[in-house]
Structure 1
């Protein structure tokens, strides 16, 4: 039975949602964070998490903590500037972390990767799929999660909503999978409650599949504003970042994996569609963050 869990990236969106969900269900959570005095870290303390301050790039800052936990929820630091050098750094970090967890005899690991990670192999020689392969070869008992694009990304300035616009980076007219970070936390908690049922599995996670017109209409209806839809071309995106352009090209020409939403809803009856996420979480966050 898993009782104590180290959650990395605990003040990020996935990590924070997972910490809160685990605490609700009685797990002992050690939240790995960079700054104990940040508002998000203080909030986790109030909820009952034990804060572990350190740097994921420096294993000495949390090595001893691994002796005190049964399991790890592994989220690696986000990479904002997509390039081969950063991909290699992420792969190296993930591999080294897995080796450390094996040395410390961690009972169970959930690695939060990315939707359709294996499809990146054609243009990203070393990336999250490299980490996944190493995890499976390590012999550690584990589950890999492949969350789709976060619904929370629409809260970011790059979405254009602060300018009265909606920038669509995704292929025009194609239904794209999305998931809320709240739901990622719920799925992680369910797996930690039943590790034997999910060990050895890679699980694609989504809550909705919608195109840019459906997103536009949902945002306008929920927020009560008018938005101009701006479609960004593959050429524009490639000029900004060639690797990101390759990612959008993959989304354009590769069919998305067939995932049975109903099966995910059976597992998580609270699974949010984009519209229900807006009503339950998104709208209030837009207001709180003064994004419109």
Structure 2
């Protein structure tokens, strides 16, 4: 069996490649990064149909992942549609798509883009499984998607809770579905607990060794802070609107889907902190 992993050098892809083992083929843009993965790889691009067709030869299953929303554009949509088209042309037997929780057509930023792609995949005729994770715990060890100011967290979450999930558990769930397909099903992947951002800041403070506070802002002020930091105003407004939606509690529930797929309980935020102490310290020394 051959499994093609797109987004193979990213936070989830690197964990997934290791878990899939000898069956994996990584689709990468950079030859050196592909070589560093230590597995079979194909160099190409989502915009290069020939490289996608070459990557799909002999492939049975595909993990569909890629870069998220960026200011001013949504390349994710045409990129992932191209992968789906290539998979259909090659007769791939199953596609596992990494999405986001609450993906829907008309949603803002990644929610909207993933909603469009999910519907395209469902209409493609390919057997599919969709994984919809909550926010990544790893955002707090890389700085990705975490708004900071003066070394503190800022946002518009209020006192709402979020059941962040560890990317290791996302990769484990993906590996389980690729090994044992669950056709035409959607799984929502969360951690085992939901924390407020003040609680998260307190936990980060203990690891980093200095005070980190969560500063809650009205959405308009939060958008203004993001714009002042260099984000385009329309993009900043959409980010603030998404944060305000989180304040309603939409990301607070927990599910059992990680345990259902992997047969182990998802990692807690404390587990994540213990495993990633050094990278967290490094990231927050620059915040």
TM-score, L = length of structure 1: 0.83
Aligned to 1:202: 186
In structure 1, the residue matched to 2:255 is 260
In structure 2, the residue matched to 1:152 is 138
Q: Which residue of 2 aligns with 1:6?
A: 4
CA–CA separation in structure 1 for the residues paired with 2:222 and 2:283:
27
In structure 2, the CA distance between the partners of 1:222 and 1:288, relative to structure 1 (3 Å rule), is closer
Gap change, CA 1:204 and 1:112, over 3 Å in 2: same
Structure 2 CA distance for partners of 1:74 and 1:199, relative to 1, 3 Å? same
| 1:290 to 1:132, Cα distance in 2 relative to 1, 3 A | closer
Q: Cα distance, 1:123 vs. partner?
A: 4.7
Cα offset, 1:234, TM superposition: 1.0
Gaps of 5+ in 2: 228-235
- Structure 2 CA distance, aligned partners of 1:211 and 1:55? 39
Q: Which residue of 2 aligns with 1:108?
A: 94
Give the secondary structure class of the aligned counterpart of 1:177.
Answer: coil
The answer to whether 1:211 aligns with 2:196 is yes
What is residue 60 of structure 1 aligned with on the other side? Answer: 50
Residue in 2 that maps onto 1:284: 278
Number of residue equivalences: 272
Distance 1:113 1:65 in 2: 22
Check 1:96–1:34 CA distance in 2 against 1; reply closer, same or farther (3 A cut): closer
CA distance in 1, matches of 2:46, 2:221: 34
Q: Deviations over 1:207-261 (max 9, x none)?
A: 1421112201221223333223333431133343122122223223363474434
In the TM superposition, what is the alpha-carbon distance from 1:175 to its structure 2 partner? 0.3
Deviations 1:23-50 (A, max 9, x none): 2xxx411111111224xx44311xxx11
Q: Does 1:77 align with 2:72?
A: no
Counterpart in 2 of 1:176? 162
Q: Are residue 167 (structure 1) and residue 153 (structure 2) matched?
A: yes
TM-score (norm 2): 0.84
CA contact (8 A) 1:112 1:146 kept: yes
| Matching of residues 11-90 of structure 1 within 5 Å | 11-23=9-21, 27-38=22-33, 41-45=34-38, 49-81=39-71, 83=72, 86-87=73-74, 89-90=75-76
Matched with 1:128 is 114
Structure 2 distance, partners of 1:182, 1:141, is: 25
8 Å CA contact 1:109, 1:143 repeated in 2: yes
Larger displacement relative to structure 2 (171-180 or 124-133): 124-133
**Which protein has the bigger helix share?**
1
Q: Is the 8 A contact 2:161 2:195 kept in 1?
A: yes
Calculate the aligned-residue CA RMSD, in Å.
Answer: 2.5
Alpha-carbon shift at residue 136 of structure 1 (Å): 0.9
Counterparts in 2 of 1:160 and 1:170: CA distance versus 1, 3 Å: closer
Match of 1:193 among 179, 189, 201: 179
Deviation at 1:148, TM superposition (A): 1.1
Separation in structure 2 between the aligned mates of residue 188 and residue 275 of structure 1, nearest angstrom: 23
Residue 74 and residue 123 in structure 1: after superposition, are their counterparts in 2 closer, same or farther (change >3 A)?
closer
CA distance in 2, matches of 1:215, 1:257: 14
